[in-house]
Structure 1
Amino acid sequence: MRVLFLVHSFNSLAQRLFVELSEHGMEVSVEFDINDAVTREAVALFKPDVVLAPFLKRAIPEDVFTAVPCLIVHPGVRGDRGPSALDWAILRREKLWGVTILQAEAELDAGPVWTWREFAMRPAAKSSLYRNEVTEAAVEAVMEALAMIAVGDFSPERRSRGSDWEVTGVANPLCRQGDRTIDWQRDSTLRVLRKIRSADGSPGLLDDIEGTPFYHYDVHPAEGLTGEPGALIARSGNAIARATRTGAIWIGHLRATADGSLKLPAVRVLGARAAQLPEVPDGYREISYTEAGDVGFLEFSFYNGAMSTDQCRRLKDAYIEALSRPTKVLVLTGGPDTWSNGLHLGVIEAADSPADESLANIEAMDDLCRAIVTTTDRLVISAVRGNAGAGGVFMALAADEVWARSGVVLNPHYKDMGNLYGSEYWTYLLPKRVGAENAERIAAARLPMGVAEAVRLGLVDKALTGDPVALDDEILQEATALAATPGLAQRIWDKRMSRARDEADRPLADYRAEEIEKMKLNFYGFDPSYHVARNNFIRKVPKSRTPLTLARHRSTKA
């Protein structure tokens, strides 16, 4: 089956569906929804059996949806309509939500229903629900709908009260700031969290802090803190705490309202005002360490997987401290939503010299990776629970084994960010795992990769359960069993000898020096592609064309 993706952007859901459909042997090509003429041309070139819209903000042209089946992935229950499905579901404390596959029509979200999936809601940010529950439900529903099309004898059902299934949703308008305004004197901590979480990712919740408006993101309960509702009462790491009527919340990121303002760590945005607040150590915990017998667990959960210079340095310090513990196995676990996406492009963009900050950030990433690679007294495991991209993938490869949750999407490449060369010792780590030929192919492909393919290539050693609830227990069981393996001491010895041979053959410092020299050309050279691509990415500048690596129908034409 030939499936053309029509997308506003190639977001996490679109990437996961791309991986799943490709894994099932379907021919998949992608076109960004730039204008109707481009869409028509893409359909004419690719001649798809189905057009799939996992993330679309405009209606598909009528002459397209009448000529070929067009399926819309809507993140809402049957009957739900409108562009703010998850926002309203969170605000209204829905217990059950879902994903519906609709046939495209002129009126948005109004077409006949092909299939749907439902899931239990949990108290989480919109972006987290989208990456997890929505994505898993969408994969199941899309695969069922495509199977129906392949059979060819299914007629989608018009949504109506007379149908033999229950319509559970309603049409909703765009959720605006006024629909989630915080009343600090009346709203409980849970209600404040819910309002900000409903806007997390985009657009953020707009609220005044001491008379100045800011968009709020990345919120968590601040246990044990109280104060005057709405007041700033503490800071912890990059976060600031605001009191509510019943407690307090941590706010990890803010964005000013002025044109060109960026979403950045809250302490950085507030500057001197934040510096005056009392510090609460470990109040807002991005990094934590626990032990279970002979196994240590170092968890790092950075917002959207971005790792700034400071975060890299703190994680390296925490890693070195974890090595002081008498464990046999050390497990690195990123956040449940995202493992790591490498450099913090937002902090880099906001720096006085983005080039200098880029270099500082990659040097800090390299220092962290080197500490992992040169650990020879125990086994180190990268347990990848969430999606990973660019330098985050190669940081995972620095460990002895990589375990990944089924359903995770990896993007083991840098070049889409303005032909960025990349570091994190990838020129050593990637060929060592997959061979020189596969390493070259992976770096050039610029495509998302699923865990099944990563296991076949040797990029991942073990595929874990796809159930996020059972995942942590499986990681604990696997790590505990590994620590109790009779041949573990010999394996650690073999690891030490292998590292010594590799170092004698070519020192790690040589790989790093070569990578950094090529990255300096990206940062300081005459070609501004990296800086342009970073700016466009951070500021969400719409794409003017689809990359040929995704638009296979166009690369074939070329």
Structure 2
Amino acid sequence: MRILMLAHSFNSLTQRLWVELGRAGHDVSLEFDVSDAVTIEAVELAKPDVIIAPFLKRAIPETVWRRHKCLVVHPGPLGDRGPAALDWAILEGHEEWGVTVLQAEAEMDAGPVWAHRRFAMRTATKSSLYRNEVTDAAVDAVFEALRVAEPIRPERTWWKPAMTQATRAIDWDTDDTAAVLRKLRASDGTPGVRDGGFYLHDGAAADGLNVCGRPGQWIARQGGRLARATTDGAVWIGHARTAEPGSLKLPAATVLADIAAGLPEQPGHHDIWYDEKDGVGTLHFPFHNGAMSTEQCQRLREAFLAATQRPTKVVVLAGGPDFWCNGIHLGTIEAADSPADESWRNINAMNDLCEAIITCSSHLTVAAMAGNAGAGGVFMALAADMVLARTGVVLNPHYKGMGNLYGSEYWTYLLPKRCGTAAAQALTLARLPIGTEEARDWGLIDAAFGASVAEFRAGVEAFAADLAAKPDIGNHLAGKRLTRLADEAEKSLAAYRAEELEHMKLNFYGFDPSYHVARWNFIRRVPKSRTPLYLARHRNKAQTTSR
């Protein structure tokens, strides 16, 4: 089936559908929703059997939906209508929610329904629910919609408007911790909760603090997080940004530096922690949006080295539930006085971490990817001896989409070692997401399992415990050391790193500003002005035909 996907951006759901539909044998192409004229032209070129809109911010042109079957993915249950469905679901405390695939018509979200799914709500942010439950349900519903012969009309519908900041606003004098967290979670990612001259993001309960204060008072700090008192406790605010247009979302202690300076350090919501069981040490690092700043890379390296000093034989690198890792932190780089210098510091800190994992001779290492990974995060995973991934995870094993960035993290050593030189070149040049089945076919991962994060983690725990208990694990470690010595003799890690960083130096300091422009646009969520040809395959075909 020829499928044209129409989307505002290539977000997590759009990428997952791209992967799954392509894997199922469909001819998939994508067009960013830039304007009516561009969309109409794309449809004429693609000649699709069906148009799927997984993520739009405006209506499909009437000339398109009247002539073509247009399936819109709405993150709400059967009958729900409106542009902020998931926000309302979290704020109102729904225990169950859903996804509906409906046909585009003149009235928003009012068309016939081709498929729908329901799921149990977790206590989680909007972004986390969207990347997991919503995405899984949407994939199932879209595939059903492609099979169904006739749609249905809901017996009852209801409209919920866009959520305003007045609705999201926290009343510190009356809102308890649960209410504050619901508002923060419902506003996670975009737009955040407006609070005076700032937007607040990334909230978590602050339990067990040794300090207290009146509701609304900032009372403590822990790394980049700041704690603020509520009527019955306190919450940690992980990130914030000023209300000025184009402002950057950064650790709250950076944005509110004057407030943070006078607050006492308190233990709290850590972004790195370690646990140990059955001869296995596990490092968790659920960094916000999977990005790793220079300082976070350095702390994670120290934590990894400390884990290798423990009397265990396996170290699991668990990442976080939503992201394993997405590489260097473009936000802290953009905010630096010299983004080029901070880019250089950040990539070197990433390399130091990857080198520690590659050269670990005392333990077998397992990268356990419960969430998506991209760019340097994918290659950091390949530094481990074994790579496991949750079913449904999406990987982006390339850098070039960020202004033709070359990349480092020893990828020129790790990727060909996994899948061969030709395949490594094909993967990095394609600039496309891949699913776990394809990643396993390419050799990037060793196994994929687990429909949910909990199921995957239970499987990883059993796998790692079994690995640690093997009577011949000493032989495995000896073989690992011999392989590393042979690889080093053939070409040193220092040589790979130096060659990669020569390219990166040009990206950061050279005459071509494309990396800096792409980073600026990415951080500020500037919409794409056109669709790249590796996604807009219908335009590629048109160019080929015209020659």
Please report the TM-score for the alignment, with normalisation by the length of structure 2: 0.98
Q: Which residue does the alignment assign to 2:160?
A: 172
Structure 1 gaps of 5+ residues are: 149-153, 162-166
Alpha-carbon offset, residue 260 of structure 1: 2.6
Does 1:241 find its partner at 2:236? no
Alpha-carbon offset, residue 272 of structure 1: 3.2
What is the distance in 2 between the residues matched to 1:170 and 1:318?
50
What is the distance in 1 between the residues matched to 2:62 and 2:246?
37
Q: Which residue does the alignment assign to 1:5?
A: 5
Of residues 253, 259, 265, the one that matches 1:279 is: 265
Contact kept, 8 Å, 2:218 with 2:259, in 1: the verdict is no
What is the distance in 1 between the residues matched to 2:38 and 2:84?
26
Q: Which residue does the alignment assign to 1:158?
A: 153
What is the distance in 1 between the residues matched to 2:97 and 2:349?
41
Contact kept, 8 Å, 1:60 with 1:106, in 2: the verdict is no
Structure 2 letter corresponding to 1:500: L
Alpha-carbon offset, residue 182 of structure 1: 1.2
SS at match of 1:216: strand
Q: Which residue does the alignment assign to 1:41?
A: 41
Contact kept, 8 Å, 1:237 with 1:284, in 2: the verdict is no
Deviates more, 1:522-531 or 1:220-229: 220-229
What is the distance in 2 between the residues matched to 1:525 and 1:185?
53
Alpha-carbon offset, residue 468 of structure 1: 2.0
**How big is each residue's C-alpha offset from its partner over 1:312-341, in whole Å with a ceiling of 9 and x where there is no partner?**
011111111111101111000011001111
What is the distance in 2 between the residues matched to 1:329 and 1:227?
44
Of residues 344, 349, 354, the one that matches 1:369 is: 354
Deviates more, 1:268-277 or 1:360-369: 268-277
Q: Which residue does the alignment assign to 1:113?
A: 113
Contact kept, 8 Å, 2:289 with 2:323, in 1: the verdict is yes
**How big is each residue's C-alpha offset from its partner over 1:233-292, in whole Å with a ceiling of 9 and x where there is no partner?**
1000110000101111111100001233110011111113202210013x1210000000
Structure 2 letter corresponding to 1:401: M
Alpha-carbon offset, residue 556 of structure 1: 2.0
Q: Which residue does the alignment assign to 2:411?
A: 426
Alpha-carbon offset, residue 557 of structure 1: 2.2
Q: Which residue does the alignment assign to 1:151?
A: none
Q: Which residue does the alignment assign to 1:184?
A: 172
SS at match of 2:139: helix
Alpha-carbon offset, residue 51 of structure 1: 0.3
1:77-476 to structure 2, matched below 5 A, reads: 77-148=77-148, 154-159=149-154, 161=155, 167=156, 170-208=158-196, 213-225=197-209, 226-281=212-267, 283-476=268-461
Q: Which runs of 4+ in 1 moved over 3 A?
A: none
Alpha-carbon offset, residue 184 of structure 1: 1.2
Alpha-carbon offset, residue 122 of structure 1: 1.4
What is the distance in 1 between the residues matched to 2:304 and 2:124?
28
Structure 1 letter corresponding to 2:217: A
Number of residues of Structure 1 aligned to a counterpart in Structure 2: 541
Deviates more, 1:471-480 or 1:194-203: 471-480
What is the RMSD of the two structures over their aligned residues, measured on CA atoms?
0.9
Contact kept, 8 Å, 1:239 with 1:265, in 2: the verdict is yes
1:25-36 to structure 2, matched below 5 A, reads: 25-36=25-36
What is the distance in 2 between the residues matched to 1:466 and 1:411?
20
Instruction: Give me the identity figure in percent.
Output: 61
SS at match of 2:42: helix
What is the distance in 1 between the residues matched to 2:507 and 2:379?
19
Of residues 448, 452, 469, the one that matches 1:484 is: 469
What is the distance in 2 between the residues matched to 1:470 and 1:522?
41
Contact kept, 8 Å, 2:218 with 2:227, in 1: the verdict is yes
Deviates more, 1:55-64 or 1:347-356: 55-64
Structure 2 letter corresponding to 1:527: D
SS at match of 2:55: coil
Alpha-carbon offset, residue 227 of structure 1: 2.1
Structure 1 letter corresponding to 2:182: R
Please report the TM-score for the alignment, with normalisation by the length of structure 1: 0.96
